[in-house]
Chain A
Amino acid sequence: MGRVRGASPRVFGTSGSPVDPRSAAVSVGAAWAHAPYPVIVADRDGGLVELNAAARLLWSQAVRGDALWDTVPAWLAEAHGRFADGVPDGTGEVSGAVADRFFEAHPTPADDGDVVWWLIDDTDRRLAEAALAGARQRSALLADVSSQLLSTLNVTRCMEATARMATDHLAEAALLVAPPQGRRHQLTYAYRGGPVSQVTAPVDVHAVPGLAEALQGFPPVPARWIDPASLPSWVRPADFTEPVGSVIVAPLPGHGVPAGALILLRSSREQAFSGDEELFARLFAARAGAALSAARLYTEQASITATLMRELLPPRLENVHGVEYAGAYRPSRDNERIGGDFYDVHPGTGPTEETLVVLGDVAGKGLDAAVLTGKIRNTLQALLPLATDHERTLTLLNCALLSSHHTRFATLVLASVRRLGSTVELRLTSAGHLAPLIVRSDGTVEETATRGSLIGALPKVTSATANVTLRPGETCLLYTDGVTEARGGPLGDELFGDHRLKRVLAECAGMPAEAVVERIQMLTAQWVGSGSHDDVATVAISAPRGADLTMAGGQGRVGSTMYRRNG
């Protein structure tokens, strides 16, 4: 700052030195000299007249007569010029930086065309405002991050979202390293503006400083300790070709479940990560880690459930030894796939051997009931060699259930089925279950004459077996009480009932087995509408129409029901 060294400036400091008569009396009075804010007086030509003590702290070298332009920042000198010239919009307040502080400047006119500039220190408010805006932005960002991460329980999608958001908000490129599976890691790469890609590869995590530690949940290594030049090439997304300027390796805290680590990369032309940004990256990683561990837990649980449930799901039925079988099952609760009803078809060892069909209902609903259906199905499977004798099979099953810790009982129907020429011979035994219905070609519906005691309640069981012959196109329907006890209908509170079932079945004369089963399931589902219902299981056994030999083999011809069951 070029400055004329000359006359000593008249400064009204804390010393309380006498006031120059001109300025004190004529201009602004004495008090301003001790004002806590800086005050400058300048003449209309832009020459410095006086400064008070607070202003002196800012411009310690200024002397009277100095040009404003050489002393104060340009924004203030310009404002002075406008104010002195009487430019209308130049009369308001102006603001700007002086050294590392920030001031608002308010001009007031004084005698002789002098202008008094009152400066108000605004630094702290501005800093607070900037901090507030930053905090708001970060919390909005974290809220957005949370809602994006919480929307999915899919681990892969969650990793994609984490990597993508990291490049949207934190770094040019990001790599999410999943916990190892064996020696391989799933790597999710993102590059700002580019697609997210995933690959599973064996990588040496020790090659990246702090990565192995981050994967084990140790505290992060400060960004400045990591030499970007030492990074192995697999850390970069393919599109990220520039030299790496700075790196953050952040652990993803998984709360007991390993969640992985996040590597953030900035190129050398971008600013290095600041302390604040490193802190924010940790907050981001904490949320991502929580979401990823939740997704991982859900996935594990879902896979365990699926594995356990696979054995309990009703089987797909297909045509066996020239007889059509179709089954359908609708559990009582929409969010479950299994319940207390069950059915199985155990094909005979050859076309001349009987196929055993079983359909039953365990008291109760939901998982507990389903577990017992599994037990009954397994027991029956073991009893298959004896299954030609229905009563003996039921007696053995009864013993097995009585001796188990389950207190539930079950009802079921056994059907031994064999094709004989163009007809199908059935031996049907009910153990406390609804008697199967026979649909004849002419639409007659017959109830089979079988009854017996239920299973798992009394020490001794009795039963009566019925023999039935199905001619081509005729069907035997085994069903559970979920059909007849479905409540709803057009009036909302009627039972579906025996009569309606028989009337509906009469219309099913001549239909293929899967069409019968589908129609019964459809009508009961529509009957119930959105109301609650019990488990509904139906199995149809049909003698194929005509001399249709394509049915005889039964291989590869599965009914539409298999597509339902796969869900």
Chain B
Amino acid sequence: MSAPPAIRTDALVDELWQAVTGGDEYTAVEVVRRARADGTDEETLLLDVIATVQRRVGTEWAADRLTVAQEHAATAINERVITALVHDRPPADAADRVPKGRVTVSCVDGEWHAMPARLVAEVLRLRGWRVDFLGAQTPTPHLVSHLHSTSSAAVLLSGSLPTHLPTAHAAITACQAVGVPVMAGGRAFGPDGRYAHALGADRWAPDARAAAALLEEELARPHPAAARQVLDDLPHLTDQEYTFVAQSRGRLVRQTLTSLENRFPAMRAYSDAQRERTAEDLAHIVDFLATALYVDDADLLTTFLCWTADVLEARRVPAHSVVTALGVLGEHLREFPRALRLLDDGTAALADRPRRPVPGSDIEA
């Protein structure tokens, strides 16, 4: 499978980008149909064109160059482009090969970014696997009952938002307990897959092609007698800091909000919507703090904080407000040394952050 010249995919990406952000489904579908008719193979279209456009949607949203509506419309059209591409797939492609085996592709419970998982599912189908795609927002009980009723050789678990890592952990151990190995993938598991390893996943794949390649080496079935509990993987959780922070999220947000309002009278003039935005930002910080406590990794929090600062600055909100919020939050977590250390690391990272006019990070697919 030789990849066409990068220039060719670049041109296709630009064309698709124009159509998708213009809300022009017809042209978007035509771009990929024509490209395939011209000889671009489907895997390249999925991974080097559609996925690239989708990444750009996320980046542009973070930089405040796309509205929420445009972002959603673009994603919906991109989904339809995949559907059209798959719909056009000649049946012979799938039928003339003996299926390699059956695998299950699912998102972590609570994960709404279905596209990375969908791209993996389609690439695996192209490569001859029989794929059960469970999609986004799959409750872990559904995933487990699916495994009982099918004979999956592996589960490919996709996660984009790191705050779902505790849920992902539960899913990983549940799959392994019924004897099915788990390959984790997606941004949530860290740039080097470190969280996938920390949570005991059998494999980690940086992207769809790597996932397909790893699947070729047969994954050993985990021994059911070796079923683990949370503390076996993450012994630091005995300090209960994660449990406390996760359980008192609402209270922490409310207390921090009140403290901020007392300290900065200007905040009292916020509209309901502004106040709610602030509360949401604080809730996100608490969520990421809880997750950082869960996996015991400061980078998870600092990466998020720097990204948040970039997003805020793109919307002309001074990023210093994040530092202030961290300080106030720390006052409500005095008895939690690990949490305080994480908040200190976060504050330091924000201070060291290079001033970038254009945010480069993204959180979407």
Chain A contacts to B: CB under 8 angstroms: 144, 147-148, 150-154, 156-157, 161, 298-299, 302-303, 330, 334-335, 337, 489-493, 503, 507-512, 514-516, 518-519, 521-522, 525-526, 529, 545, 548-551, 556-560, 563-564, 566-567
Which residues in B have their C-beta under 8 angstroms from that of A302? 145, 148-149
Let me know if B148 and A298 touch, CB within 8 A. Answer: yes
- CA of A563 to CA of B119, assembled, Å: 12
Let me know if B135 and A564 touch, CB within 8 A. Answer: yes
Let me know if B179 and A152 touch, CB within 8 A. Answer: yes
Let me know if A515 and B273 touch, CB within 8 A. Answer: no
Contact with A along B261-284 (1 / 0, CB 8 A): 000000000000100100110110
Most buried by A among B68, B118, B227, B273: B68
- A150, closest chain B residue (CB): B224
Which residues in A have their C-beta under 8 angstroms from that of B276? 489-490
Let me know if A507 and B69 touch, CB within 8 A. Answer: yes
Given contacts A490-B283, A512-B77, A560-B114, contact A153 B250 (CB under 8 A): no
- CA of A144 to CA of B227, assembled, Å: 12
Tell which of B109, B148, B250 touches A492, judged by Cβ atoms closer than 8 Å: B250
Let me know if B253 and A154 touch, CB within 8 A. Answer: no
- CA of A199 to CA of B68, assembled, Å: 53
Let me know if A511 and B69 touch, CB within 8 A. Answer: yes
Q: Smallest Cβ distance from A550 to chain B, in angstroms?
A: 5
- B78, closest chain A residue (CB): A560
Contact with A along B1-32 (1 / 0, CB 8 A): 00000000000000000000001111001000
14 A-B pairs whose Cβ atoms sit less than 8 Å apart in the complex: A334-B140, A334-B142, A335-B142, A337-B142, A490-B276, A491-B253, A514-B76, A515-B72, A516-B72, A556-B84, A559-B80, A560-B76, A564-B135, A566-B133
- B286, closest chain A residue (CB): A490
- A522, closest chain B residue (CB): B112
Tell which of B75, B142, B178 touches A151, judged by Cβ atoms closer than 8 Å: B178
- CA of A316 to CA of B84, assembled, Å: 17
* B254 contacts the other chain (CB 8 A): yes
* B324 contacts the other chain (CB 8 A): no
- CA of A566 to CA of B118, assembled, Å: 13
Interface hits, B170-220 → A, CB 8 Å: 177-179
Given contacts A302-B145, A492-B250, A560-B79, contact A157 B179 (CB under 8 A): yes
Which residues in B have their C-beta under 8 angstroms from that of A563? 114, 118, 133, 135
Let me know if B280 and A518 touch, CB within 8 A. Answer: no
Q: Smallest Cβ distance from A317 to chain B, in angstroms?
A: 14
* B67 contacts the other chain (CB 8 A): yes
Tell which of A147, A154, A511, A566 touches B148, judged by Cβ atoms closer than 8 Å: A154
Tell which of A490, A526, A566 touches B253, judged by Cβ atoms closer than 8 Å: A490
Let me know if B253 and A151 touch, CB within 8 A. Answer: no
Let me know if A151 and B79 touch, CB within 8 A. Answer: no
* B137 contacts the other chain (CB 8 A): yes
Q: Smallest Cβ distance from A164 to chain B, in angstroms?
A: 10
Given contacts A148-B225, A154-B150, contact A491 B177 (CB under 8 A): no
Known contacts A512-B76, A522-B112, A559-B79; 20 further A-B pairs (Cβ under 8 A): A148-B225, A152-B179, A154-B178, A299-B149, A303-B149, A334-B139, A337-B142, A490-B282, A507-B69, A508-B69, A515-B72, A515-B75, A549-B26, A550-B25, A550-B29, A556-B84, A557-B80, A560-B76, A560-B114, A563-B114
Let me know if A156 and B151 touch, CB within 8 A. Answer: yes
Interface hits, B114-154 → A, CB 8 Å: 114, 118, 133-142, 145-151
